[in-house]
């Protein structure tokens, strides 16, 4: 995985660079200056950007917002020592694709980065109630039709069966499924179904 990393503590940045390189990642750029990040991303076109939250003169959230404006498709993960609501909100709104607590350790960070690269939105090292809260918020964003699709997914219905049940085309079903997965921040129908059971949408 090709990464751009930004953290304002040089010692931590060096240690993180060494650890991730040892795990097989390629650090195409590492900087302590957050205002360099958009240019570095445009220059190196990384697979993923890893940002500390607290940065000099700005925050990782603000940098992520600028990256979204310039390059919407580049995944962004925030590395944070705090669990503040405004940080979690950046995840809930889709501004960033992952949140990882600095207390999690390098192995957990590696797993989170690989999940995000695979298309899954993830929170690592936060309390389970935080994850549940994020999913509950996401559930509230689903349209009525998307809730129907999620319920059918939880029942194990195939795409064809859902299309018949809803009276729409299979392509339309696939579009709804992608939207549901994105809003819930999960990868795959099984995890979406698990989220539906966890949140009480289905019994």
Domains of the chain: 2-125 (3.40.50.2300), 135-198 (1.10.10.10)
Predicted confidence pLDDT, tens digits, the chain (203 residues)? 999 999 988 888 889 989 999 999 999 999 999 999 999 999 999 999 999 998 988 999 999 999 988 877 899 999 987 767 778 778 878 889 999 988 888 888 999 999 999 888 888 876 544 455 545 556 677 888 988 998 888 878 889 999 999 999 999 999 999 988 887 777 778 777 777 766 666 65
Which residues lie across from 4 on neighbouring strands? 29, 49
Query: Cα–Cα distance between 60 and 78 in angstroms, integer?
Result: 7
Give per-residue pLDDT as tens, 14-46: 899 899 999 999 999 999 999 999 999 999 999
Query: Cα–Cα distance between 51 and 118 in angstroms, integer?
Result: 19
The pTM of the whole model exceeds 0.85: no
């Amino acid at each position: 995985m090709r990464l751009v990393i930004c953290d304002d503590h040089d010692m931590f940045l060096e240690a993180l660079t060494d650890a991730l390189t040892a795990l097989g990642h390629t650090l195409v750029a590492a900087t302590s200056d957050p205002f360099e990040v958009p240019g570095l991303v445009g220059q190196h076109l990384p697979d993923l950007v890893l940002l500390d939250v607290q940065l000099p003169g700005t925050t990782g959230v603000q940098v992520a917002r600028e990256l979204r404006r310039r390059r919407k498709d580049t995944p962004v993960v925030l590395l944070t020592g705090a669990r503040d609501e405004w940080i979690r909100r950046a995840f809930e709104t889709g501004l960033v694709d992952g949140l990882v607590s600095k207390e999690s350790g390098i192995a957990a960070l590696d797993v989170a980065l690989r999940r995000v690269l695979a298309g899954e939105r993830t929170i690592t090292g936060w309390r389970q109630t935080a994850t549940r809260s994020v999913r509950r918020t996401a559930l509230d964003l689903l349209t009525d039709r998307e809730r129907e699709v999620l319920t059918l997914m939880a029942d194990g219905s195939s795409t064809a069966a859902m299309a018949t049940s809803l009276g729409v085309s299979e392509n339309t079903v696939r579009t709804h499924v992608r939207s549901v997965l994105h809003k819930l921040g999960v990868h795959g129908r099984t995890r979406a179904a698990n989220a539906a059971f966890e949140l009480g949408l289905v019994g």
